[in-house]
Structure 1
Protein backbone atom coordinates (compact mmCIF):
# COMPACT_ATOMS: atom_id res chain seq x y z
CA UNK A 1 0.00 0.00 0.00
CA UNK A 2 2.48 2.63 -1.06
CA UNK A 3 0.96 6.13 -1.22
CA UNK A 4 -2.51 4.59 -1.43
CA UNK A 5 -5.24 6.11 0.72
CA UNK A 6 -7.38 3.16 1.84
CA UNK A 7 -10.80 3.91 3.28
CA UNK A 8 -11.50 3.12 6.94
CA UNK A 9 -15.04 2.22 7.99
CA UNK A 10 -16.58 1.62 11.40
CA UNK A 11 -18.47 -1.56 12.34
CA UNK A 12 -21.66 -0.11 10.83
CA UNK A 13 -20.05 0.51 7.42
CA UNK A 14 -19.82 4.29 7.90
CA UNK A 15 -16.73 5.98 6.46
CA UNK A 16 -14.47 7.11 9.32
CA UNK A 17 -11.46 8.34 7.32
CA UNK A 18 -8.53 7.22 5.19
CA UNK A 19 -5.24 5.53 6.03
CA UNK A 20 -2.50 7.99 5.12
CA UNK A 21 0.48 6.02 6.41
CA UNK A 22 1.30 2.63 7.86
CA UNK A 23 3.99 2.93 10.55
CA UNK A 24 5.51 -0.52 10.34
CA UNK A 25 3.52 -3.23 12.07
CA UNK A 26 2.44 -1.21 15.10
CA UNK A 27 0.37 1.81 14.01
CA UNK A 28 -1.59 3.32 11.18
CA UNK A 29 -2.09 7.05 10.68
CA UNK A 30 -5.67 7.76 9.70
CA UNK A 31 -7.04 11.13 8.60
CA UNK A 32 -10.73 11.97 9.03
CA UNK A 33 -12.78 14.07 6.62
CA UNK A 34 -12.36 17.00 9.06
CA UNK A 35 -8.58 16.77 8.65
CA UNK A 36 -7.75 15.35 12.09
CA UNK A 37 -5.08 12.65 12.07
CA UNK A 38 -5.23 9.75 14.53
CA UNK A 39 -2.64 7.13 15.46
CA UNK A 40 -4.45 3.76 15.47
CA UNK A 41 -2.80 0.55 16.77
CA UNK A 42 -2.87 -2.17 14.10
CA UNK A 43 -4.67 -4.59 16.42
CA UNK A 44 -7.68 -2.21 16.46
CA UNK A 45 -8.09 -2.46 12.69
CA UNK A 46 -9.14 -5.29 10.39
CA UNK A 47 -7.69 -5.15 6.89
CA UNK A 48 -9.85 -6.18 3.94
CA UNK A 49 -8.90 -6.23 0.25
CA UNK A 50 -10.12 -2.71 -0.49
CA UNK A 51 -10.55 -1.07 2.92
CA UNK A 52 -10.02 -1.24 6.68
CA UNK A 53 -12.56 -1.63 9.50
CA UNK A 54 -11.97 0.20 12.77
CA UNK A 55 -13.08 -1.90 15.74
CA UNK A 56 -13.44 0.99 18.27
CA UNK A 57 -14.72 4.58 18.00
CA UNK A 58 -12.10 6.90 16.53
CA UNK A 59 -12.21 9.24 19.54
CA UNK A 60 -10.75 6.43 21.68
CA UNK A 61 -7.39 7.04 19.99
CA UNK A 62 -4.89 9.89 20.31
CA UNK A 63 -5.04 12.67 17.74
CA UNK A 64 -1.71 13.57 16.18
CA UNK A 65 -1.07 17.32 16.51
CA UNK A 66 -0.83 19.29 13.27
CA UNK A 67 2.36 21.14 12.35
CA UNK A 68 0.70 24.43 13.36
CA UNK A 69 -0.22 23.01 16.78
CA UNK A 70 3.31 21.70 17.32
CA UNK A 71 4.82 25.07 16.32
CA UNK A 72 2.44 26.88 18.67
CA UNK A 73 3.58 24.61 21.52
CA UNK A 74 7.23 25.30 20.73
CA UNK A 75 6.54 29.04 20.60
CA UNK A 76 4.73 28.90 23.97
CA UNK A 77 7.54 26.93 25.59
CA UNK A 78 10.14 29.31 24.16
CA UNK A 79 8.25 32.34 25.47
CA UNK A 80 7.90 30.72 28.90
CA UNK A 81 11.63 30.02 29.09
CA UNK A 82 12.82 33.52 28.13
CA UNK A 83 15.22 34.68 29.39
CA UNK A 84 16.89 31.31 29.66
CA UNK A 85 19.39 32.52 32.24
CA UNK A 86 20.20 35.55 34.34
CA UNK A 87 22.34 38.20 32.70
CA UNK A 88 26.01 38.19 33.69
CA UNK A 89 26.86 40.01 36.89
CA UNK A 90 29.64 41.98 35.25
CA UNK A 91 30.08 44.29 32.32
CA UNK A 92 32.85 43.38 29.89
CA UNK A 93 35.70 45.88 29.94
CA UNK A 94 35.08 47.01 33.51
CA UNK A 95 36.75 45.54 36.55
CA UNK A 96 34.60 43.24 38.70
CA UNK A 97 35.55 45.05 41.91
CA UNK A 98 35.97 48.76 42.06
CA UNK A 99 38.78 49.94 44.30
Structure 2
Protein backbone atom coordinates (compact mmCIF):
# COMPACT_ATOMS: atom_id res chain seq x y z
CA UNK A 1 0.00 0.00 0.00
CA UNK A 2 1.30 3.45 -0.83
CA UNK A 3 0.54 6.69 0.89
CA UNK A 4 0.02 10.08 -0.75
CA UNK A 5 2.51 12.81 0.04
CA UNK A 6 0.21 15.46 1.52
CA UNK A 7 0.58 18.58 3.64
CA UNK A 8 1.40 17.63 7.23
CA UNK A 9 3.07 14.32 6.36
CA UNK A 10 6.18 13.68 8.46
CA UNK A 11 9.44 13.23 6.53
CA UNK A 12 12.50 11.37 7.87
CA UNK A 13 16.15 11.27 6.82
CA UNK A 14 17.87 8.01 5.86
CA UNK A 15 18.95 7.50 9.49
CA UNK A 16 15.32 7.56 10.65
CA UNK A 17 15.48 11.01 12.24
CA UNK A 18 12.47 13.27 11.67
CA UNK A 19 13.47 16.17 9.40
CA UNK A 20 10.16 17.99 9.34
CA UNK A 21 6.69 17.95 7.85
CA UNK A 22 5.45 18.58 4.35
CA UNK A 23 4.37 22.20 4.09
CA UNK A 24 3.65 22.44 0.37
CA UNK A 25 3.23 19.92 -2.45
CA UNK A 26 1.74 22.28 -5.04
CA UNK A 27 4.97 22.63 -7.04
CA UNK A 28 5.26 20.03 -9.81
CA UNK A 29 8.96 19.44 -9.20
CA UNK A 30 9.56 20.12 -5.49
CA UNK A 31 8.14 19.52 -2.02
CA UNK A 32 8.31 22.20 0.66
CA UNK A 33 9.32 20.90 4.09
CA UNK A 34 9.14 22.87 7.31
CA UNK A 35 11.31 21.92 10.28
CA UNK A 36 10.46 22.05 13.97
CA UNK A 37 12.35 25.36 14.21
CA UNK A 38 10.17 26.86 11.49
CA UNK A 39 12.76 26.97 8.73
CA UNK A 40 11.58 25.85 5.32
CA UNK A 41 13.43 24.11 2.53
CA UNK A 42 12.54 22.56 -0.81
CA UNK A 43 13.35 19.04 -1.91
CA UNK A 44 13.10 17.71 -5.46
CA UNK A 45 10.27 15.15 -5.53
CA UNK A 46 12.57 12.42 -6.86
CA UNK A 47 14.60 12.64 -3.62
CA UNK A 48 11.66 11.59 -1.42
CA UNK A 49 10.53 7.96 -1.34
CA UNK A 50 7.95 5.97 0.60
CA UNK A 51 9.87 3.20 2.39
CA UNK A 52 9.29 1.26 5.58
CA UNK A 53 5.77 2.74 5.85
CA UNK A 54 7.00 6.34 5.98
CA UNK A 55 8.28 9.13 3.73
CA UNK A 56 12.06 9.39 3.70
CA UNK A 57 14.66 11.55 2.04
CA UNK A 58 16.97 9.57 -0.20
CA UNK A 59 20.30 8.57 1.40
CA UNK A 60 22.91 11.29 1.25
CA UNK A 61 20.46 14.17 0.83
CA UNK A 62 21.72 17.13 2.82
CA UNK A 63 19.50 20.04 3.80
CA UNK A 64 21.19 23.38 3.25
CA UNK A 65 21.25 25.72 6.21
CA UNK A 66 19.04 28.84 6.21
CA UNK A 67 22.14 31.08 6.01
CA UNK A 68 23.46 29.10 3.03
CA UNK A 69 20.04 29.32 1.33
CA UNK A 70 19.99 33.08 1.96
CA UNK A 71 23.50 33.47 0.51
CA UNK A 72 22.47 31.48 -2.58
CA UNK A 73 19.37 33.68 -3.00
CA UNK A 74 21.46 36.86 -2.70
CA UNK A 75 23.87 35.52 -5.31
CA UNK A 76 20.97 34.71 -7.67
CA UNK A 77 19.59 38.24 -7.18
CA UNK A 78 23.00 39.78 -7.91
CA UNK A 79 23.38 37.65 -11.04
CA UNK A 80 19.91 38.70 -12.20
CA UNK A 81 20.58 42.38 -11.51
CA UNK A 82 23.87 42.13 -13.38
CA UNK A 83 22.18 40.47 -16.36
CA UNK A 84 19.55 43.22 -16.47
CA UNK A 85 22.24 45.92 -16.87
CA UNK A 86 23.39 44.44 -20.17
CA UNK A 87 23.98 46.18 -22.59
CA UNK A 88 23.62 49.46 -20.70
CA UNK A 89 26.89 48.85 -18.86
CA UNK A 90 28.82 48.38 -22.12
CA UNK A 91 30.42 51.48 -23.64
CA UNK A 92 29.12 52.46 -27.06
CA UNK A 93 31.16 51.39 -30.06
CA UNK A 94 31.10 54.95 -31.44
CA UNK A 95 30.38 58.50 -30.32
CA UNK A 96 28.05 61.04 -31.85
CA UNK A 97 30.22 64.07 -31.06
CA UNK A 98 31.90 66.46 -33.50
CA UNK A 99 35.39 65.05 -32.95
CA UNK A 100 37.14 63.93 -36.07
CA UNK A 101 34.90 65.85 -38.49
CA UNK A 102 36.61 68.01 -41.00
CA UNK A 103 35.32 71.59 -41.30
Q: Distance in 2 between the 1:72 and 1:43 partners?
A: 25
Shift of 1:74: 2.9
Shift of the 62–72 alpha-carbon distance from structure 1 to 2, 3 Å rule, reads closer
SS class of match (1:70)? helix
Corresponding residue for 2:3?
Answer: none
Question: Is residue 30 of structure 1 aligned with residue 33 of structure 2?
Answer: yes
Q: Which runs of 5+ in 2 are unaligned?
A: 1-5
Scaled by the length of structure 2, what TM-score is found?
0.49
Shift of the 33–21 alpha-carbon distance from structure 1 to 2, 3 Å rule, reads same
Greater percentage in strand: 1
Corresponding residue for 1:89?
Answer: 94
Corresponding residue for 1:16?
Answer: 19
How many residue pairs end up in the alignment? 91
For the aligned residues, what is the CA RMSD? 4.2
Scaled by the length of structure 1, what TM-score is found?
0.50
